Structure 1
Amino acid sequence: MRYDCAGAGQRTLSLFDNRSWQDHPPLLRPQMDTFRHLRTIHDLLGLLATAQELALPARVEARRQELVTALCPENMTPARAKRLATGSLPEDVRDFLKSLARHAGRARA
């Protein structure tokens, strides 16, 4: 079995100017915390990407896109990743995904 971080590892490094805790041990804790938060964000983005395959009504698709945009701010920082991953947004995404059950089985043409 292989582990897939869904891009969260690479994104974490980019937020730390591509410096690794392996070369800069004081970065261990902040990088691991940021990685954990970005992993949550990336998992949610993956689920929202999968939801794009459903034939969603326009207003539901618009909400899906709003959530994707909210998870992908232009200027991501470790602090912003923490706020996004630990705030109300993950629960909003999960509630949205649960609401899609009635659309299951209706794939895009």
Structure 2
Amino acid sequence: MAKSDPQARILAAVRAIPRGEVAGYGEIARRAGLPGRARWVARLLAISEDPALPWHRVLRSDGRIAFPPGSASREEQARRLRAEGVALVDGRVQAARAARTLDAEVWGPR
């Protein structure tokens, strides 16, 4: 992959998302060295014909699926994410709870 090929960098960043994890369009753009180009990421994913590309792991920055409710694309993305163990509620990824800190364990409520 040539460093000067931004499309290749975006696709590489998408391919690097581990199974069962997600990233936002903006985060993918940053990882590809293209901060502020989230829409470019979305457009590139929309036209990609690579069946092996894990496009379903890319979401809006708030953890929501970008496709409209009830659309076939939204249902397909949700199905693929659930198959990888990603929890969704109303089209939004449910983030794991943060680990408790030592202070919370020592000083928090019992």
TM-score, normalised to structure 2's length?
Answer: 0.22
Which one has a larger percent strand, Structure 1 or Structure 2?
2
Higher relative contact order (CA 8 A, sep 6+): 1
TM-score, normalised to structure 1's length?
Answer: 0.22
